[in-house]
Amino acid sequence: MDNNFMVGIKTPKTDAKLPGYMKMEEVRQLFAFLERDSHPLALRNQTMLKLLATTGMRRKELVDLTWEQLNFY
């Protein structure tokens, strides 16, 4: 080959790092703190974080969640 056919082609971007995850003990500590919190929005915060941690849903899915989508049975 006389010429390089790859000239001008950019390589795809790669993620610099993988997401970090909490250890189980850290999750327990977070839940314990949330259950002791007396802030006016404490129950909301506790519910949101427990939903995220136990269901695996994404932040956007939690934000878009409506009452009609909940099944308490």
The predicted structure's pLDDT at residue 26: 93
Interacting residues of 34 by C-beta distance below 8 A, sequence separation 6+ = 42, 45, 46, 49, 50
Domain boundaries defined on the chain: 24-67
CA 48, chain centre distance (Å): 11
> How much is the pTM?
0.62
pLDDT values of the chain reduced to their tens digit, one per residue, 73 residues: 578 777 888 888 877 787 788 899 999 999 999 999 999 999 999 999 999 988 889 999 999 999 999 888 8
Q: Which of 32, 22, 29, 25 is nearest to 53 (CA)?
A: 22
CA separation for the pair 34, 43 (Å, rounded): 8
